[in-house]
Structures are given as C-alpha cells and as structure tokens.
C-alpha cells in the first residue's frame, strides 16, 4: 500500500493518547494492506483515508458519539452507489445522488471481519469506476 514517508509518525500523532483505538486501526490497516496492496493511504486531520482511483474508505475517531456506542471505538467509513441496510451500519447518508456513505462502529479486532471487508471491497471497486 502506498504511504507517505511520515505515515507511521502521522498515525501515532492521530491516535495520541488513544492506544486502544490505534490497535483497532492497526488491525484494520493490516487487513486493508492485504486486500488492497495497490491502494494509497493518507493520514489527515479528521480521518485516515484509503484511495483507489478515488476515496473509497476511511477510519476515524468518532466526533459525535451516540450514547449507545462503546467508549473506545473506531468509525470505519465506505462509499457505495446504494444504501446498505444492515444492523452493523450505524449511519448511512446520501450526500449526492447515488453516492451513499456508510459508517460502521468497530470496537474489537474481530469486528474487522469478512463482512466489513466485503463492503470495503465493493467500495474499492466502486471507486475505480465512478
């Protein structure tokens, strides 16, 4: 996966004082690197973004936490042409016609499972053709 020379330090800075969330991200990153070796990853102020031709996924710390969400969690985001109806989808919005952004709350490494990776794979493929 393509990363900047400052990537490791940027990740540490992004998750400063949040070691549990950083470990969740590291588990996600390992799965993303395995699934999308040609993708690029970029640490930004509000999220860590994954790109194919376009942005297809992201990981972030929740800014507006719902009361039902765990105290320590990571928000995994992906974009598709359609809405996915599933209990794991915490929030889904349509910022543009036929562009749905989905957010999944991840609070344990085992939640970075085949289902989540399938959604990210679909988002990756969508990013290549949109």
Q: What is the pLDDT of residues 48-98, one digit of tens each?
A: 999 998 999 999 999 877 888 899 999 999 999 999 999 999 999 999 999
Q: How many CB atoms are closer than 10 A to CB 35?
A: 14
SS percent in the chain: helix, strand, coil, step 5: 35, 30, 35
Question: Which residue(s) pair with 89 in the sheet?
Answer: 104
- Measured CA to CA, the distance from residue 106 to residue 89 in angstroms comes to 10
| Residue 37 to residues 44, 46, 83, 111, 112, Cα–Cα distance (Å) | 20, 23, 26, 21, 17
pLDDT (tens digit, 9 = 90+) per residue, 69-83? Answer: 899 999 999 999 999
Question: Which residue(s) pair with 74 in the sheet?
Answer: 106
The model's pTM = 0.94
């Amino acid at each position: 996966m393509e990363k900047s020379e400052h990537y490791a330090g940027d990740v540490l800075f992004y998750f400063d004082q949040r070691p549990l969330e950083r470990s969740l991200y590291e588990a996600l990153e390992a799965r993303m690197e395995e699934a999308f070796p040609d993708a690029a990853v970029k640490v930004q102020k509000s999220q860590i973004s994954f790109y194919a031709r376009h942005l297809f996924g992201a990981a972030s710390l929740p800014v507006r936490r719902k009361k039902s969400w765990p105290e320590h969690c990571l928000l995994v985001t992906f974009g598709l042409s359609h809405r996915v109806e599933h209990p794991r989808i915490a929030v889904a919005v349509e910022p543009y016609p036929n562009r749905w952004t989905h957010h999944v709350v991840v609070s344990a490494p085992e939640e970075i499972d085949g289902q989540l990776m399938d959604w990210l794979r679909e988002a990756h493929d969508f990013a290549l053709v949109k």
